[in-house]
Amino acid sequence: MQVDTLQLIDEWGPEKVVCVSDRRSGMRGVLVLDNTARGVGKGGTRMSPDLSVLEVARLARTMTWKWAGVDLFHGGAKAGILGDPTAANKEEILRAFARALSNEVPAEYVFGLDMGLTECDAAIFVDELGDRGAAVGLPRVLGGLPYDELGVTGYGVAEATDAAATAISLPIQGATVAIQGFGAVGQAAAERLIELGAVVTAVSTASGALVDAGGIDVAKLVELRRHVGDECVVEYGGTLAPAAALTTDAQILIPAAREDVIDKDLAVRTTARLVAEGANMPSTPDALEVLHRRGVTVVPDFVANAGGIVAAAHSMDARYSPFTVDPVDVFPMISAKMRQNTVTVVTEARARDLTTHATAQEIAQERVRAAMRVRGQVGAGGW
């Protein structure tokens, strides 16, 4: 986890980098508070055997833009533990990590879930600190919202897709959609798009791809996924390589798996009029420029996949409530935020002839800068 943290600092942050350790458990971890001008730091906590301070800092910066982009009042932050999430003494490590950050949590940062951590791990943080406000992502029995079970991120991707389609005069009714990745995000996006009237014609997982120009029976595919996971496309009858979902003829393309899957070559060949980035960083910078020149509208990742953090914000508002968070209240909130922000970004990008990524970044930065300005932070320290 060695890095010169001073080299990470720019005009936005980070404001604080806290490295912690515990000799007894072997715990080593870090918290990065990037920019809290708009509110308490919030971002997931991950556990990984190859974690670095730089990785956590970059993720914290992404959260700064994501919160500002969706226009909710939390600050960018991220935390991480260097270690194996399957370790036998994981609970001991988590408790040591929580204790080490008791000065920062929850006054400056609220634990959340990311790679390597589960709802039960969030419950451990709450139990160790004796404060229900210490974490979000709690199990349902503690009043939490089961994000993956509800499919909030994928639902938000579908809402953003519909809003963008309307903005570019692409009727969602009957529109053909290809989805790369059929995990929690891809599945929920597919289900919601079907409800909106779209036709899902291609789906892929790590096991293969399924393409059907007449439309895939998404309900059948979801049922298969419950039993066989990624093999669902094969069980359904898919025989193509996974990349086929990216190259098939479709009006809407949703990359919802890995980063950098849309490269310059694919950007030239795709037939899609609209790309909604369900995954983080699925398009290379070169690809984004090509798509822009070709007139293909892209809903940027930190706009399209922000449904999860909208739900997290709802959970944070209810952390000290004696009542269980009602999922029924969450979906309208996600829909309103996703649609509003998507239309703002797409409309402004077209008016200024900029990429949607550049436009979304500018909007997010100006919101953060405005908060810093009223707090008297702009210009301090020589920036």
- Catalytic residue list: 78
CA distances from 286 to 7, 265, 292 (A): 27, 9, 10
Find all residues with CB under 8 Å of 229, minimum gap 6, and list them.
205
Q: How many CB atoms lie within 10 A of CB 129?
A: 19
Rg over CA atoms, the chain: 21
For β-strands 109-110 and 41-42, DSSP reports them as: parallel
Q: By the 8 A CB rule, do 78 and 59 touch?
A: yes
- What distance lies between CA 12 and its chain's CA centroid? 21
Measured distance CA(164)–CA(156) in Å, rounded: 12
The separation between the first and the last C-alpha atoms of the chain, rounded to the nearest angstrom, is 28
For β-strands 252-255 and 176-180, DSSP reports them as: parallel
Beta bridge partners of residue 111, listed in sequence order: 135
